[in-house]
C-alpha cells in the first residue's frame, strides 16, 4: 500500500499562471522557431541568455541552463511573495526586469517559480 502524505493547503491570495520556461542551447533560435510555428506569436523580450515569447495565449520563456532551471511560474503580489517565501523558508532573488522570485522543487523534481512583478500594485493584485 502506498501512503500519500497530504500537504496542508497554503492560501495563495491572488495567484495567476505566468509562464513556462525551457532551457535551450540557443535563445535566438528557439524564439525564431516558435515564432514561425505559432501564427501570431510575438517576442516580448530577448537577449543572449533569456527570451520571452507570447504564443497562443501562453508565455514561453527560453533560458540558458546556467542561469535558470526548467520551470512553471506563478505570479503573485509582492506581499504574497514575501509571505510564501517565509512559509517555505527560501530567499527571494531580484531579476534584471525588476521582478523578484524564488524557486521550489515540486514532485518529480519539477521546478516551480513564484514571481512578483513591480507593476502588480498598479494592476490591483496587491
Domain contains 126: no
20 has which bridge partners? Answer: 60, 72
Domain that holds residue 40: 16-120
Tens of pLDDT along the chain (126 residues)?
555 545 444 554 689 999 999 999 999 999 999 999 999 999 999 999 999 999 988 999 999 999 889 999 999 999 999 999 999 999 999 988 889 999 999 999 999 999 999 875 444 444
Domain contains 1: no
Domain contains 11: no
Domain contains 76: yes
CATH code at position 105: 3.10.180.10
Number of domains in the chain: 1
Domain contains 2: no
Domain contains 80: yes
Domain contains 100: yes
Domain contains 9: no
pLDDT for 5 equals 47
pLDDT for 27 equals 97
Pairing of strands 71-75, 111-116: parallel
Mark 82-117 as b/e (b = at least 16 C-beta within 10 Å): ebbbeeeeeebeeeeeebbbbbeeeeeeeeebbbbb
Please report which helix (H) or strand (E) contains residue 30, including its range. Answer: helix 27-37
Give pTM, 2 decimals.
Answer: 0.78
pLDDT for 14 equals 82
Amino acid at each position: 500500500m502506498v501512503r500519500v502524505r497530504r500537504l496542508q493547503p497554503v492560501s495563495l491570495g491572488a495567484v495567476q499562471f505566468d509562464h513556462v520556461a525551457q532551457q535551450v542551447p540557443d535563445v535566438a533560435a528557439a524564439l525564431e522557431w516558435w515564432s514561425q510555428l505559432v501564427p501570431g506569436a510575438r517576442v516580448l523580450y530577448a537577449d543572449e541568455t533569456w527570451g520571452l515569447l507570447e504564443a497562443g495565449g501562453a508565455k514561453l520563456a527560453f533560458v540558458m541552463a546556467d542561469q535558470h532551471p526548467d520551470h512553471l511560474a506563478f505570479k503573485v503580489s509582492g506581499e504574497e511573495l514575501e509571505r510564501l517565501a517565509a512559509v517555505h523558508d527560501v530567499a527571494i532573488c531580484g531579476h534584471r526586469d525588476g521582478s523578484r522570485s524564488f524557486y521550489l522543487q515540486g514532485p518529480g523534481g519539477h521546478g516551480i517559480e513564484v514571481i512578483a512583478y513591480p507593476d502588480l500594485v498598479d494592476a490591483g493584485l496587491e
